[in-house]
């Protein structure tokens, strides 16, 4: 393809600049053809060639262009462009045959000829193609109106054309039927084509409208040239290559350009910002006037016959009557359609009015000046103000002053943004109600005729609920103090910003000593009431800029913000005074359920350091608080770096403790239990010792304390250690019994361990049977029982063990509140006095009387007694005088390994200070809980 239309089709894809060049090239080619036709092309032969084969080439370019576009684009308009291609191909063939006669054969074109057949086939595909391009009606009435509009236009043109030219043509050529029919066929087909062009111009689809407009213009130009060609004025004098051919040439090239160049140009062009579209389109007005314009044309045709003095032709009368009838029918249809549309519009208006008036949202329309022009009736229920009262007021006067600046800024930004980018906006602000209160209002804002449309709703309850949820998320539900999360955030704020680097900022961690006992004695409700009172005291004791918080359980915290002082010593003294004052305040008696309850407070204090994090600062305060509890409770401790080192040491020790038992680092020692009357060894108490891989020896008090503070739960570790201790003690006692040392061994077990469901019920019995330990050779030393343990289950378990010859000793008697109850209900054989009752028995007369009273109880109940921690001869004399039968401690011997124990059993006697002899203990005795702390010095790690 080398024709200009193909060149235009290729250039149509190169963007806006290329499209402009294509239009200029198209205008230049058409203008050049027009100039050539106007001057006669310089010779008759050239005029004939350009008038015949030039038009054929232009029509062929249009046919190929439309065909290629239809093959390359898959849309619902594809058949239309294919039909336009067929129509142009018919015109190309007709012009080629016309040129064959005039140029090649050099003779007149016969009438009619084969060229006339192709020319007549030009209109039908074009007519159908225009129907495809039209916006199809959606109702039957629409189709009827479309047909009536086409007939109104066609009939009017037929009336006018018949009155002016066609009747004359029919009379002139009436002698020959073929020439007369041919002369009438051209104008009639052109009238139909023009009718559809005019009728469909106002009903064209919105898709690719520029290409459709160009195609309509091309067909309109072709029809115009056909009308001029068929008129008697030009038909007689027409010769190929004249100026009339320039119209057909331009129409063909315009149709070739339509699907490519026009579509590309419009797609790349964008309307400038701020362009306003008319409220009433011109196309809509012309479409409404189309029937009346057609009737006017028909009237002009009839008037022309009257003015010329001619007899009114039957064709004119018939056509005019049908046009009038079509107009009446169309107006009737339109009237019914308008009535239906009016009724539907009224229903929709009532529907939307009901929605607006019944909506709980307030709809307001504000002018560009900010004056409210409309307010929906919902304002009375939402704002407590009538709509009439708000109309005419300024919107800015109703918005909270603190929110007004933000609202104005958002509105200006919204109006400056392109509507396509930001069609709506949401604004939250406070709005004045009729009672003077401020309501939280959420508004959706849209543009409306230069102003703003507000769709507002009251969200006060939602804002209140969100604030309540936020408060609940950051505060303790029981005391309403800030919780750990909010307290951590407050600490972070205190360590950053303008207070960053202020070493006077301090964090206090507070723990209520004895709170668990309140829960156990009085119940959790009483414990909750105590926590509420303690929180109130704490809140009242801190300054307004400080923060008091509850971290969980009975743990509280306080943040004391620094005052910018550079005297660190004075600041530490001041904060310690605050902590002491808090301790005294929290230690005052509480009134709970009509009872006076006392708890103490252990407080740890940590000061901020440069670059310290909130987590580290709170950890330091926590370490200081635990140091205060370990140092005796009811005191204040300041954080020192050594505390962190101690924690690291305990953590490392706990990590080694996990594998120590499996790696054989534990050893079993025995401490002799001696008769205070004779000095003979009547039993041995089994005790575990841990010698670490570094050669350090730890006493039970030391490694069990580490076990308690380790991450692993205490039960799992101590249960495994207790099982090992029991089995090892029974096995070694059986070995000693076989070699002749028949001395009972005592093993300390907790009540929880005896009732542990994970421990097989007959494990102790099976152990005695497996090692063949005789009756009375094992003493179970029962530790202080947990208050939650059932005494009934414990009693049944101890009774079953006694049937096997196992003796029961009550360990730590005099140190626990449950000891008296255990003595009353449990089958106990031996009472073991707590070390605390023995250490000061010589120096303290009060303690002497208490110990003597307890020993009297044991004697009256027929039980034997063992004093733990007998380290001095004076204690031996005093205890023996009070009736104590046995003792265990450094006054006789410390814990011994198996070799030294057997040497002591061979000697079987320790020197005892002189005095009255007492009956020798014949049964087994209970073992000591711990060896003396003076036995083994633990070097620091």
- The answer to which of 119-123, 263-267, 324-328, 863-867 has the lowest mean pLDDT is 263-267
Q: Is the pLDDT of residue 159 over 50?
A: yes
- Higher per-residue confidence, 762 vs 634: 634
Rounded Cα distance, 363 and 377, in Å: 9
- Higher per-residue confidence, 383 vs 789: 383
Centroid of chain to Cα 287: 54
Q: Is the pLDDT of residue 396 over 50?
A: yes
Q: DSSP alpha helices (H): ranges in 173-208? A: 177-201
The pLDDT tens digits for 557-590 are: 999 988 777 777 888 888 999 999 999 999 999 9
The pLDDT tens digits for 509-523 are: 999 998 988 888 889
- Which residues lie across from 338 on neighbouring strands? none
Q: Say if residue 360 is preceded by a cis peptide, omega within 30 of 0.
A: no
Rounded Cα distance, 757 and 793, in Å: 12
Q: Is the pLDDT of residue 705 over 70?
A: no
Q: Are strands 555-560 and 547-552 parallel, antiparallel or unpaired?
A: antiparallel
- The answer to which of 24-38, 291-305, 706-720 has the lowest mean pLDDT is 706-720
Which residues have a Cβ under 8 Å from the Cβ of 913 and sit 6 or more positions away?
873, 876, 877
Give me the pLDDT at residue 498, please.
Answer: 67
Give me the pLDDT at residue 276, please.
Answer: 43
Q: Which of 300-314, 721-735, 777-791 has the highest mean pLDDT?
A: 721-735
Average pLDDT for the chain: 79
Q: Which of 195, 217, 42, 57 is nearest to 131 (CA)?
A: 195
Give me the pLDDT at residue 555, please.
Answer: 94
Give me the pLDDT at residue 216, please.
Answer: 78
The pLDDT tens digits for 863-873 are: 999 999 999 99
Q: Is the pLDDT of residue 764 over 70?
A: yes
Give me the pLDDT at residue 5, please.
Answer: 41
The pLDDT tens digits for 334-383 are: 788 888 888 888 888 887 777 766 677 888 999 988 899 999 888 888 88
42 secondary structure, DSSP code: G
The pLDDT tens digits for 594-641 are: 889 999 999 999 999 888 899 999 999 999 998 898 888 899 999 988
Mean pLDDT calculated for residue range 388-417? 91
Q: Residues of the chain with pLDDT > 90: what percent?
A: 26
Give me the pLDDT at residue 9, please.
Answer: 41
- Entry pTM: 0.49
Q: Is the pLDDT of residue 478 over 90?
A: yes
Q: Which of 686, 802, 690, 677 is nearest to 749 (CA)?
A: 686
Q: Is the pLDDT of residue 717 over 80?
A: no
Residue 241 near residue 50 (C-beta atoms within 8 A): yes
Q: Is the pLDDT of residue 804 over 70?
A: yes
Give me the pLDDT at residue 270, please.
Answer: 45
- Higher per-residue confidence, 270 vs 64: 64
Q: Which of 690, 686, 691 is nearest to 671 (CA)?
A: 686
- The answer to which of 127-131, 197-201, 207-211, 802-806 has the lowest mean pLDDT is 197-201
pLDDT-based confidence at residue 421 (cuts at 50, 70, 90): confident
Give me the pLDDT at residue 526, please.
Answer: 92
Give me the pLDDT at residue 548, please.
Answer: 95
Mean pLDDT calculated for residue range 495-499? 75
Mean pLDDT calculated for residue range 242-267? 76
């Amino acid at each position: 393809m080398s024709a200009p239309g193909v060149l235009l089709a290729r250039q149509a894809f190169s963007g806006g600049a290329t499209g402009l060049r294509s239009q200029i090239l198209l205008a230049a080619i058409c203008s050049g053809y027009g100039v050539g036709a106007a001057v006669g092309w310089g010779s008759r032969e050239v005029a004939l060639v350009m008038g015949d084969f030039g038009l054929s080439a232009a029509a062929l370019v249009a046919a190929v262009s439309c065909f290629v576009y239809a093959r390359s684009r898959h849309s619902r308009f594809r058949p239309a462009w294919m039909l336009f291609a067929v129509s142009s191909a018919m015109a190309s063939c007709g012009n080629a045959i016309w040129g064959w006669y005039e140029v090649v054969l050099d003779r007149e074109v016969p009438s009619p000829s084969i060229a006339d057949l192709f020319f007549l086939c030009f209109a039908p595909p074009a007519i159908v193609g225009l129907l495809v391009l039209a916006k199809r009606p959606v109702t039957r009435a629409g189709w009827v109106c479309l047909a009536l509009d086409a007939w109104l236009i066609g009939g009017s043109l037929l009336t006018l054309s018949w009155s002016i030219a066609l009747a004359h043509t029919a009379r002139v050529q009436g002698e020959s039927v073929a020439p007369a029919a041919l002369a009438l066929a051209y104008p009639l087909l052109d009238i139909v084509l023009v009718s559809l062009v005019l009728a469909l111009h106002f009903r064209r689809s919105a898709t690719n409208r520029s290409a459709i407009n160009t195609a309509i213009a091309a067909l309109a130009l072709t029809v115009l040239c056909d009308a001029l060609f068929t008129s008697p004025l030009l038909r007689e004098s027409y010769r190929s290559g004249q100026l009339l051919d320039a119209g057909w040439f331009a129409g063909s090239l315009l149709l070739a350009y339509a699907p490519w160049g026009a579509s590309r140009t419009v797609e790349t062009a964008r309307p400038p910002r701020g362009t306003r579209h008319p409220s009433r389109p011109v196309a809509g007005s012309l479409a409404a006037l189309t029937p009346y314009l057609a009737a006017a044309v028909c009237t002009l045709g009839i008037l022309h016959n009257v003015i010329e003095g001619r007899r009114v032709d039957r064709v004119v009368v018939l056509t005019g009557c049908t046009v009038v009838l079509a107009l009446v029918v169309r107006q009737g249809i339109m009237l019914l359609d308008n009535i239906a549309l009016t009724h539907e519009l009224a229903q929709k208006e009532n529907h939307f009015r009901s929605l607006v008036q019944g909506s709980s949202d307030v709809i307001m329309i504000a002018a560009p000046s900010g004056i409210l022009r409309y307010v929906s009736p919902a304002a009375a229920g939402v704002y407590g103000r009538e709509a009439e009262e708000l109309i005419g007021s300024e919107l800015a006067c109703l918005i909270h002053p603190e929110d007004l600046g933000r609202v104005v800024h958002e509105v200006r930004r919204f109006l400056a943004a392109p509507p396509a980018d930001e069609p709506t906006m949401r604004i939250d602000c406070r709005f004045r109600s009729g009672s003077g209160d401020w309501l939280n209002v959420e508004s959706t804002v849209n543009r409306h005729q230069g102003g703003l449309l507000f769709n507002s709703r009251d969200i006060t309850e939602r804002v209140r609920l969100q604030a309540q949820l936020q408060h609940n998320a950051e505060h303790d539900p029981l005391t309403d103090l800030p919780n750990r999360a909010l307290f951590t955030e407050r600490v972070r704020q205190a360590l950053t910003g303008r207070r960053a680097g202020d070493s006077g900022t301090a964090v206090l961690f507070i723990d209520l000593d004895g709170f668990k006992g309140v829960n156990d004695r009085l119940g959790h409700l009483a414990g909750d009431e105590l926590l509420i009172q303690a929180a109130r005291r704490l809140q009242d004791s801190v300054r307004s800029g400080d923060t008091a918080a509850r971290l969980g359980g009975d743990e509280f915290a306080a943040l004391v913000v620094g005052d910018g002082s550079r005297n660190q010593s004075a600041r530490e003294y001041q904060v310690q005074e605050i902590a002491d004052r808090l301790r005294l305040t929290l230690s005052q008696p509480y009134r709970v359920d009509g009872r006076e309850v006392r708890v103490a407070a252990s407080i740890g204090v940590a000061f901020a350091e440069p670059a310290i994090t909130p987590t580290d600062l709170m950890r330091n305060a926590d370490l200081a608080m635990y140091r205060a509890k370990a140092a005796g409770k009811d005191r204040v401790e300041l954080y020192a770096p050594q505390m962190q080192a101690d924690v690291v040491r305990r953590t490392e020790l706990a990590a080694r403790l996990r594998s120590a038992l499996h790696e054989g680092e534990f050893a079993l020692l025995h401490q002799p239990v001696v008769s205070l009357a004779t000095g003979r060894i009547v039993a041995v108490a089994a005790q575990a010792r841990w010698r670490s891989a570094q050669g350090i020896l730890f006493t039970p008090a030391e490694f069990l304390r580490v076990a308690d503070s380790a991450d692993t739960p205490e039960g799992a570790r101590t249960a495994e250690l207790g099982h090992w201790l029991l089995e090892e003690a029974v096995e070694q006692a059986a070995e000693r019994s076989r070699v002749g040392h028949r001395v009972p061994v005592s093993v300390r077990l907790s009540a929880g361990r005896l009732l542990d469901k994970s421990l097989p019920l007959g494990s102790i019995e099976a152990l005695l049977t497996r090692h063949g330990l005789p009756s009375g050779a094992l003493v179970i030393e029962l530790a202080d029982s947990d208050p939650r343990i059932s005494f009934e289950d414990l009693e049944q378990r101890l009774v079953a063990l006694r049937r096997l010859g196992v003796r029961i000793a009550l360990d730590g008697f005099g140190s626990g509140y449950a000891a008296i109850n255990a003595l009353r209900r449990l089958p106990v054989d031996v009472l073991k006095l707590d070390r605390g009752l023995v250490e000061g028995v010589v120096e303290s007369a009060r303690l002497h009387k208490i110990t003597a009273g307890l020993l009297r109880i044991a004697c009256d109940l027929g039980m034997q007694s063992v004093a733990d921690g007998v380290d001095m001869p004076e204690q031996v004399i005093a205890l023996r005088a009070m009736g104590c039968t046995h003792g265990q401690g450094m006054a006789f011997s410390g814990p011994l390994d198996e070799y030294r124990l057997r040497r002591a059993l061979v000697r079987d006697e320790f020197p005892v200070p002189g005095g009255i002899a007492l009956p020798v203990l014949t049964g087994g005795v209970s073992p000591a809980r711990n060896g003396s702390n003076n036995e083994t010095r633990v070097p620091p790690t």
